[in-house]
Amino acid sequence: MKKRLPLYFLYITSLLVFFSCLPKTKNNTEKKITLFFVNDQHARLDNFAKIKYIIDKEKEKQSVVVACSGDIFSGSPVVDNYKDNQGYPMIDVMNRVGFDVSVLGNHEFDYGEETLKDRIDQSNFKWVCANVDMLETNVPQPNEYYTVLKDGLKITFLGLVETNGKDNGTIPSTHPWKVQNFAFQRPEAVVNKYKDVKKSEGSDLFIALTHLGHSSNKGLGDVQLAEQYPYFDLIVGGHSHQEINTVENGIPIFQSGSYLKKLGKIEISVKNKAITNIKYTLINLDEITEYDQNLKDVIDDYNNLPDLKEVVGESLMYHEEYKVGCFYADALKSAMNVDVSFQNSGGVRSSLDKGDITKKEIYTIEPFNNGTVKYDMSVQQVKDFLIGSKSGFYYSGIIIEQVGDEVEIKSTAGNLISNNTMLSVGLNDYIPAVHDKYFPEENKIQDLSAAESIMYYLQNTNSEVNYPSCANYFKYTT
């Protein structure tokens, strides 16, 4: 005889089946999070003590994520020339602040493979970059994307770096010799792979953490990313050193300037995996008086480098960057004992104050530790380089003029120099590395770096810098 199931058991089973068939409701709870970010700090340390104070105060009342949009290195000798560990002070300070994630910027490659490996190994935060392959370099491969979990919220960051460093190659804007063992892809060639990441990760927010620049006519900037690949809830960018707070194609885009002068603060409300409210504040750190004392002590110790305080010359007036460019070119020409010198405008990274010139100031003007190299080139070869490179250069030793579509090169006395005349040309080695097709294979590598050449000039030839104006700049126009 079969036993009958109790009625209450059948009732409960029926209820379970009924409720399991109902459509699942979404989580209607609104959650809030604050995203702090910086970009393009370029080795500046000082304001991090203020940043840590601000972030720690916010953590007392709100969940916090801290991100960096790249270019943490190259810009201050305190970091760039730190003992035998280039870049380490920046990593140490970012660890102490509590960064969660950073994208690789183009200047993260400036120190070379071994140094980058060491700095990544020392980082307590994650690195992201979807369009680089470290190949056999032993440099740790960054995550393509990384998901941070804070207070039940999942925030996924996809990293992208620009690759506009060379016309005949796909590399970031760094010294080509420093990245010859890496492989890069154009960012627009990889973005589409990640269109479903938010779903696959189950993320509440999908953020593009980019070092592309705000807008680009060479592929992707943040604007083009938003227009062509609208997969993201927001874009946090860098590279173009701008203060950005805009919306493109419904996607908010932010950038906090450069040189750690300001801190980006994004307050986000999220419900059902969508942003319900967003508030952006750009905090001027010069106006902040509070700071974390322990971190300030660490930074003060890093800044205490007596060798960098050594005086090597005198500036008779304040020199804007373009005037420094003319001084730079003159110093190279003299120190390298060549007919002509060139200096790329992007390689002049600081103005020059009136008064004593210290080693620290020279290393700030030229933070890349570029070497110097000599070539023997005909005037025609020089013209081909100026026209074909499409770049702007400060120069010394000649006069360069564009007449219609032609380039004329004259002596400093104003006499036209024929195309077959040979000239000795001196410049930092970044220029021929980027524009290699315009330079002869044979060259003469010099003992002094570009920064050392400038200091040699000041200490042995002319200690005074006085450039009320600067006319020695040329960029071919079409």
CATH number, domain with residue 314: 3.90.780.10
pLDDT reported for residue 14: 52
Say if 64 falls within a structural domain.
Answer: yes
* One domain, residues 70 and 180: yes
pLDDT of residue 11: 52
Q: Are residues 62 and 157 in the same domain?
A: yes
Nearest to 321 by CA among 373, 360, 365, 362: 365
From 276, 303, 330, the end of a domain falls on 303
Residue 11 forms part of a structural domain = no
Residue among 103, 86, 257 nearest 178 (CA):
86
Based on the fold, state whether residues 292 and 194 are members of the same structural domain: yes
| Element at 294 (helix H, strand E) | helix 293-303
Task: Mark whether 295 and 421 lie in a shared domain.
Answer: no
Euclidean distance between CA atoms 128 and 210, whole angstroms: 9
pLDDT above 90 coverage of the chain, percent: 92
The answer to whether position 241 is within a domain reads yes
Overall number of domains in the chain: 2
Q: What is the reported pLDDT for 219?
A: 87
Give the strand pairing for 422-428 and 372-378: antiparallel
Under 8 Å between Cβ of 435 and 388? yes
User: Same structural domain for residues 273 and 334?
Assistant: no
Whole-number pLDDT of residue 1: 41
Do residues 285 and 415 share a domain?
no
Report yes or no on 284 lying in a domain.
yes
Report DSSP state, residue 92: H
Beta strand pairing call for 251-256 and 243-248? antiparallel
Asked if 205 and 345 sit in the same domain, the reply is no
pLDDT of 255: 98
Q: Same domain for 72 and 200? A: yes
Q: Does some domain include residue 176?
A: yes
Both 443 and 320 in one domain: the answer is yes
Residue 465: which of 329, 305, 306, 309 has the closest Cα?
329
As separate numbers, helices (DSSP H) first and strands (DSSP E) second, the chain gives: 13, 25
252 and 319 housed in the same domain:
no
Distance spanning both ends of the chain, measured CA to CA: 100
Q: Does 99 map to a domain? A: yes
CA distances from 417 to 268, 274, 313, 339, 408 (A): 63, 66, 34, 12, 8
Instruction: Spell out a b/e string for 280-313, using b for 16 or more CB atoms within 10 Å of the CB, else e.
Output: bebbebeeeeebbeebbebbeebeeeeebeeebb
Report pLDDT for 83: 85
Does 147 fall in a domain? yes
| Residue whose C-alpha is closest to residue 160's, from 205, 130, 197, 195 | 130
* 5 occurs within a structural domain: no
329: domain range?
A: 310-475
- Write down which residue in 287, 303, 319 finishes a domain: 303
In degrees and rounded to multiples of 5, residue 247 shows phi and psi of: -130, 130
Q: What is the pLDDT of residue 28?
A: 74
Same domain (yes/no): 262, 344 = no
Q: Which of 250, 280, 303 is the last residue of a domain?
A: 303
Ranges in the chain, pLDDT < 70: 1-27
The CATH number for 174's domain is: 3.60.21.10
Burial per residue of 167-192, b for 16 or more beta-carbon CB atoms within 10 angstroms, e otherwise: eeeebbbbbbebbeebebebbbeebe
Helix (H) / strand (E) element for 208: namely strand 205-211
